[in-house]
Amino acid sequence: MRSAPSIWWATPSSLDAERRYRWACAGHPAPLLLRDGCASALGTDHRGPLLGLLPGHAYATAAIALRPGDLLLLSTDGMVERRGEDAVPGERVIMARAGSGRG
């Protein structure tokens, strides 16, 4: 009997020597950037399929230059979703709390 392929939700990312953060969206919510007391989700125009769903898929990436004092929050959708409900309200709560410093 053949087992089902593994599927991974991920935000593969890297940070280079120039403090440039590069990420690919493979199923997880976008990273949140806390900068100057404001939290915002990084863009997801480059969102791809779940990691492992399409073997050999070339994921697009996006990049942002990080400044001293910036904070990135990478999370799983399990932090913000409730069974049977949309994730958007939970994402808004995370952004509001991160921006207020009440994390």
pLDDT digits (tens, 9 = 90+) for 18-52: 999 988 888 777 888 989 988 888 887 888 888 78
**8 Å CB contact between 59 and 48:** yes
Q: Tell me how far apart the alpha carbons of residues 23 and 66 are, in angstroms, rounded to a whole number.
A: 13
Instruction: State yes or no: pLDDT of 3 exceeds 60.
Output: no
Tokens of 82: 């409730």
Q: What is the pLDDT of residue 77?
A: 67
pTM of the model: 0.67
